Structure formats: structure tokens, C-alpha cells
Amino acid sequence: MTEACSPSVGAPAPSRTPPFGSFWRRLAAWAPLMPAADYLLFRRYPVLALVLFVLIVALAALIAAGPRALHVRTAAGAGILAASLCPLIDGIGPLPVLFALAGLTLFALLAAGWFETRAGRALADLLWFGATGFFRLFRDLAVAVKACRGPGTRRRFGAWLLSWLLPAALGSIFLGLFSNANPLIEQWLRLLDPTALLRAIDGWRAFFWLGMGVLTWPFVRPRLRRRIGGAPPVTVTVEPILPEAWRRAIFGPMAILRSLVLFNGLFAIESGLDVVYLWHGTALPSDLSYAAYAHRGAYPLVVTALLAGGFLIAATRDGSAAARSRPIRLLIHLWTAQNLLLVASSILRLDLYVAAYSLTFLRFAAFIWMLLTATGLVLILVRMTLDRSNAWLVASNFAALTAVLYASSFIDFPGVIADYNVRHSREMTRSGVSLDLDYLQRLGPRTLPALDGYIRQLPASAAAGACAVRNSLAASYAVEPTGWRSWSLNRWRLDRYLADAATGGAGRTCAQIP
């Protein structure tokens, strides 16, 4: 791409563009990212290598931002990025990768001059960046190609080629003379084999480079719906879909009041049954077990509470007549309390079901989801008590969600699940269900410490099946990629445990079972 074409993708172009303008600076920062990704990530099992690559992309974003990055917001972004990488250092997984991408996004935007104090607008900006960033490279290429087809471009491009004619011709002559005069230079030139480079490029590597280019370009040239640091967005008035009379009839105070009276009555029936059968322990009908009763309601009741929360937000929207009505506010407080009881009953139902049928990853996630739902309901009460806006409520819920997910990203879910199931298995407690060895095998090698504890408690004659699973997990872990690229705290802890177990420090092992 020539100097004449470059400004259209960056800042507004003057008639003469300096050779190292903002676009070229971004291009120079972005170009090394693909080779770096190839070295660190391609056909690897990257953990620490992925952390290093995120830091390299952050450095490229800092270089691309140029002088704009010299402010305190960049330092704040660096702190956010460091915190977001901690879960990834602990171990790879969907949540750690998500937090690393979020931290990198915030760092790139803050370094480019973005700053938004309104929580709702900031969240919208981040979601927009995540949804449209992957298309940024293709859009910028289209803009650049269009600019290069402008008037006078061919003439300037021809002049640019001619300016390289003399240096290229004389440089080739001098290089040929030096190769004849110096055997070392001649040997170096013979080592240059363009066909070797072509043989090294395969389809998967080319696809990987393209994917890395598309993924990293938005961070060196971050753009939002409105220009970063530019004028405020224009307010657009949208006509309502429903006539005013219809909206008052459907969503007015009287409709909301009737809804709350009906909903409180329906929820009171469900809450009363839960209090009688779940909390008080009254005997169920003979054809219905507590586990079945608990399982039927654990998930639907959480969905019910979520729908109720959405209705509460809509019913008490900012400035509405319903939000100022005292009877409606009292009914909302009563209904929110019933929803909290509903969520508590759902947690108890799930706890009873887990006690009967063991813990799984989805059931663990359901516990977390229920706690978040309860937090959202409490925040609705706080919003009404303190007379906050819906924007405050959305921001508070997002902060709670972020905090819970961030804490969850440090949890060793396979290890915790395996340890719980071992301690509550029939073999350990003489009640409940037998340990599901197949499920532990699907969870992976991080269940090995819990599985070893299980094997040590079994009589030797009954440990053959568990030892077969244990040996299979250990063998699969032994062939996993090793080296500094794959290092993580989780892997380091498991390596230390296995080394201790191999020397007999962990007690009886399968090798000692006849």
C-alpha cells in the first residue's frame, strides 16, 4: 500500500502523508503479531504462552495508540489487564479466556482515549466492540482499496515504483559483486531458498494467520459506534409502536396492580407448598420422592424468578406512575420477598437432588446461577429503597455477575466435583449412590487427587475398577504437551502431587494393589 492510499484508513489525510503516520504505526505494530502467534500458539497447548501473546497484543495496542496513550487511563487499563490475566495463569478455560479478552479490550480502548462514566453506555460500547471487531479488518481493507482507486493514485503509484528502480538495480549489482568477492556472502545467498518457505506454508497455518490477523486488528485500531474522543452521539427520537392509549391500558398502573395481585397469589401457593414439604419436611405422597420433587422444580423456578425480575424492572421503570404508587411498591416488595423464597427453595431442591444423585458441572453452575438470581432480586429492592435508576440496576447486576464469574474462574471445578462425589459416595458413607467413575474420567486428570483418596479407602479387592480409571487418566495426562508454553498453576500443582504420589508420599497407590 502506498503513502497516497494510507491516510483514508487512519486519520483524515493531508496532501502529503509522513512515512510513519498513524496508519503506518498501526500497521507496524500489527504485522509482528501473526509470527508471534505462530511461534507461541500454533499447534500448541498454550497457557502461559497465551498470557504472553495477550501481553504482546497489548504492547502493539500501546504502540498503535501513539502519544494518546500517555495518560492515567492507560495505567488503569494496565491494572485491569493484569487482573484479567490472573485466572488464565491459574489455568486455561472458557472463563479465563473470556476475562483475558475483556481485559485486553478495555486496555486497548483506554489507551486509544476512550473513557465513559455512564455504566450503561460503557457496557454498550464493550458489547459493540466485541460484536463488530472481527469485521473491522475487512471493512478497513475495503476502505483502503477504495481509496487507492481514487484520482491520481495510479500516477503516484507509478512514481513510487520508479523511485525504487535505481536503488533496486544498483543494489542487485553490488550484491552480485560482493558475492563474487566474498565466499561467505555467496554461501548465505545460496541458503536463500524461496521454495522452502512455500513448502513450510500449509493450509491450516495460512488459516491460522488469517484468523489471528482478524482477531488482533481491532485492538490496534479500536473503533466504536461513535468516534473515540469525538462529538457526543446525536439523539434520535423513535415513535412508539403502540398508541399512547394502548400503552396506558396494557402497561399502566392499573394493569400492573392487577398483575401483582395475581402474581402474589400464585407465588403464595408455590411458596406455601415449598415451606410445608421442603422446609418443614412433611411427608410427600407415597408415589413421589423428595429427589423427584426437588428435581422437578429446581430449574423452572429459577426461570420463573428471572421472568419476575424482568417484569419488576419494566413495572418500575424510571419516572413511571407505577413506580410512584404506594400500593404497587408494597406489592412489589411482597412479590420480591416471595421470589427470594422461591430461589432459596430452588437452592434447597438442588441440594437435595445433588445429595441423592451426586454433583455434576451443570448442577454446580446452577448453584452459582441461583445465587446470582437472588442477588439481582435484592438489588431490585435496593434500587426501589434508594430510588436509583434502571441504569444503576443494570450496572450493579453486571458488577455482581463479573465478580462472581471472576471468582469462579479460579475454582478447580473438576477437582471440587470429584472431591465432593468421593466424600459423599456410597463407598465412603454407606448411603447415597455409588461413585460414577465414568463421569470422573470425563472430567479429566484433575480428578486424580480425589480418585487416589477414594482408592485408599477401598479394600484392595474392590479397587480394580477405580485403578483402571486412575491409570487411564494418568496415562492421558502423561502424553499432554509439556514445556513452558503449557505451564499453569493448576498444572504445576498437579505435577507436584503426582511426583509426591510416585514416591509414596500420597499413601497407597494402585501399583501397590495386587
Residue extents of the structural domains in the chain: 6-220, 244-408, 413-512
Contacts of 267 (CB under 8 A, 6+ apart): 335, 338, 339, 342
Sign of CA dihedral 75, 80, 84, 90: positive
Classified as helix, coil or strand, 249 is: helix
What secondary structure does DSSP assign to 22-37, as a single string?
A: HHHHHHHHHTTHHHHH
Q: Is the pLDDT of residue 340 over 60?
A: yes
Exposure string for 352-366, b = 16+ CB within 10 A, e = fewer:
bbbbbebbeeebbeb
What's the pLDDT score for residue 245?
Answer: 57
Cβ count near 466 (within 10 Å): 21
**Local confidence band at 175 (pLDDT 50, 70, 90 cut-offs):** confident
Residues 103/81, Cβ–Cβ less than 8 Å: yes
Give the pTM.
0.78
Q: How confident is the model at residue 140 (pLDDT cuts 50, 70, 90)?
A: confident
- The 8-class DSSP code of residue 485 comes to G
pLDDT the model gives residue 249: 57
268 vs 6, more confident: 268
Q: Which residue did the predictor score with more confidence, 376 or 235?
A: 376
Burial of 50 (0-12, 13-18, 19+ CB in 10 A): buried
Residues 259-269, mean pLDDT to the nearest whole number: 86
- Mean pLDDT throughout 392-415? 91
Helix (H, G, I), strand (E, B) or coil at 291: helix
**pLDDT of the residue at 200:** 63
pLDDT of residue 17: 34
Question: Is 50 exceeded by the pLDDT of residue 7?
Answer: no
User: What is the average pLDDT value for the chain, to the nearest integer?
Assistant: 80
Would you state the pLDDT for residue 307? 81
pLDDT digits (tens, 9 = 90+) for 445-464: 999 999 999 988 888 777 88
Q: Average pLDDT for residues 423-437, to the nearest whole number?
A: 87
Report which of residues 85 and 501 the model is more confident about.
85
Q: According to the model, what pLDDT value does residue 41 have?
A: 92
Q: What is the pLDDT of residue 342?
A: 84
Cα distance between residue 9 and residue 18, in whole Å: 14
**What pLDDT is attached to residue 238?**
44
Report residue 95 as a C-alpha cell: 472463563
**Residues 377-385, mean pLDDT to the nearest whole number:** 86
Question: What's residue 311's pLDDT?
Answer: 79
Set of cell numbers at residue 46? 498454550
In 3-state terms, what secondary structure has residue 308?
A: helix
Residue 1: band (very low, low, confident or very high) from pLDDT cuts 50, 70, 90: very low
pLDDT of residue 143: 74
Q: Mean pLDDT lowest for which of 159-168, 213-222, 346-355, 417-426?
A: 159-168
Least confident among 20-29, 156-165, 257-266, 396-405: 156-165
389 phi/psi in degrees, rounded to 5: -90, 170
Confidence of residue 187 (pLDDT cuts 50, 70, 90): confident
Q: Confidence band (pLDDT; 50, 70, 90) for 423?
A: very high
Whether 113 shows a pLDDT value over 60: the answer reads yes
What digits encode the pLDDT tens for the residues 84-105? 999 999 999 999 999 999 999 9
Q: How far is CA 223 from CA 75, 96, 227, 228, 450, in A?
A: 20, 25, 7, 7, 48
Per-residue model confidence as pLDDT tens digits over 201-241: 677 888 898 899 999 999 998 877 655 554 454 444 444 55
The predicted structure's pLDDT at residue 59: 95
